[in-house]
Amino acid sequence: MRCCRPVLGAALIALASPCFAESSAPIPVNNPPAQQNGFIDLLALMSGKCKTLKVAGRTYACKTVAYAHGDKGRVNFAVAVDDPTDANHVVSFSGENGKRSDDNSYELPIDRMLLNSKHRPKVDGLPVPAEQTSTGICRQTGNFAARKVNDVTCTATDSEGRKYELLFVSDGTPVSVRRIRQSAPSIQDPFK
């Protein structure tokens, strides 16, 4: 697990946007290429288990889950897929305008899925994720400031009708939070 974290972190930072995933059989994407989203300014790596991970109807295990916040406000819950045929298989639930209803719950509306695999084109040696327009929601319980996340649940449906689902449960290990660079907060917090 410790060796997976630096690899996932480096991939997230190097891509300057949250990572995406595809299975060993690529998922066709029918969206035009999107602009780059900026730089990752906060990365939180979580340790635990994916009780559920479904990508376009296929069930997978995961290696780790990361929360990545971009300096322009885009957030991704990136999942490193445990795919023995593809070390670059990452799927991300991506959205903006996340909200906290209290100190221990966060909700992120999903507007796209980011799909990455060994089949994707590369920039600087790293695969560039495909973006698929989607609708859905991610909910996280726990608090990064306290370095404790209990779980993350996400559901999304892309514009082609494919469904994505995540239920990640923490093993209780403190979250590893890295502030990469300073930026303005993008979360809507009713307690500030």
Round to whole Å and give the CA distance between 157 and 134.
Answer: 5
Model confidence pTM above 0.85: no
Residue pLDDT, tens place only, 53-94: 999 989 999 999 999 998 888 999 999 999 989 988 999 999
Q: What pLDDT does residue 155 have?
A: 98
Cβ neighbors of 117 (< 8 A, separation 6 or more) are: 21, 22, 23, 24, 26, 86, 88, 89, 90, 127
pLDDT given for residue 52 in this prediction: 97
pLDDT of residue 39: 78
Neighbour-count burial of 15, counting CB atoms closer than 10 A to its CB (0-12 exposed, 13-18 middle, 19+ buried): buried
Structure tokens at 27: 């998922």
pLDDT of residue 72: 86
Q: For the segment 158-178, what is each residue's pLDDT rounded down to a tens digit? A: 999 999 999 999 999 999 998
Average pLDDT over residues 17-21: 36
Percent pLDDT > 90 in the chain is 55
